[in-house]
Structure 1
Amino acid sequence: MNIRILGVSVAVMALLALGGCSTRTVVTLQNGTQYLTKDIPNTRTKDGFYEFEDISGKKVRVKADDVATVRKEK
């Protein structure tokens, strides 16, 4: 019983530690639309897009020319 509790505790601590490693970022488009991302988005891909996952888990691709700023959330 104690080993199971210890195992669950270690798993929870690991998940919390990993969650703290992400850097929330705000991607602002030229038209004023803002996306809050879980992590820093991939910079321009070879085909000229930014790719990222927003905080709801949705994958987003945006043309690099449409991006005004990419900054860390305060």
Structure 2
Amino acid sequence: MHPSHRLGLATLLLAGLLAGCATQTVVTMRDGTQYLTRDQPDTENLDGYYEFEDVAGNKVRVRADDVATIQEED
């Protein structure tokens, strides 16, 4: 595994632990990319995008047409 991938994975895991009791959600894109979010993403806004913050604290904006599923993490 590439060192930058390890760092990214470690950051996501640590952020997930620090997120506490928030209901984490997995946003899966049609291309297979997955985002782990702190909370349920904002509903689709008027211009056809979802906006959310991932567990690492990055703000993400994706086209609603590119989203395959949005599910709460078990």
User: TM-score scaled to structure 1, two decimals?
Assistant: 0.72
SS in 2 for 1:50: strand
Is 2:48 the counterpart of 1:52? no
Is 2:48 the counterpart of 1:69? no
Q: Write the distance in 2 (CA, Å) between the matches of 1:51 and 1:23.
A: 16
Aligned structure 1 segments of 4 or more residues deviating by more than 4 angstroms: none
Deviations 1:18-56 (A, max 9, x none): x42x21000000000000000000010111000000000
In structure 2, the gaps of 5 or more residues are 1-19
- How many residues align? The count is 56
Q: Write the distance in 2 (CA, Å) between the matches of 1:42 and 1:35.
A: 14
User: TM-score scaled to structure 2, two decimals?
Assistant: 0.72
Find the counterpart in structure 1 of residue 29 from structure 2: 29
Q: Write the distance in 1 (CA, Å) between the matches of 2:44 and 2:26.
A: 16
Question: RMSD of the TM alignment (CA)?
Answer: 1.3
In structure 1, the gaps of 5 or more residues are 1-18
Q: Write the distance in 1 (CA, Å) between the matches of 2:49 and 2:65.
A: 8
